[in-house]
Amino acid sequence: MSTKHDTVQKYCPDTVRASNLALDQWLQSHAHMNLRTYKALKVGFISVSIIILAFYAIANGASPGPTFWVAVAGLAVLNGIEVSELLATYAELQNPSQNDSTEDGRDE
């Protein structure tokens, strides 16, 4: 049977996991927030930025129909990537001590 650790390793390469844990430690010590909060803020900022750019383009003469669909496609692609990254980070940070230790192959 697969464990939670196997699932996280399957979707999240070791270099990404190490970078996420290092960034989480830095954020906790310097910015007083965790990595999940940072990534949620980043997703929100990207979404609001795309919407503002779409409104700006429409206000300056862009055709509303294609601009709307480009904005929706951009939101779908970027938010899909960011949400999947956020979920992988959430799974990684659930129990970092378990993920760093060696496993003996038993399911608990």
pLDDT above 90 as % of the chain = 31
Going by pLDDT thresholds of 50, 70 and 90, the confidence category of residue 98 is low
27 to 20, 22, 76, 91: CA distances (angstroms): 10, 9, 27, 18
**CA angle (10 as vertex; 15, 74 as ends), nearest 5:** 80
Going by pLDDT thresholds of 50, 70 and 90, the confidence category of residue 55 is very high
Q: Where are the domains of the chain?
A: 4-97
pTM for the full model? 0.65
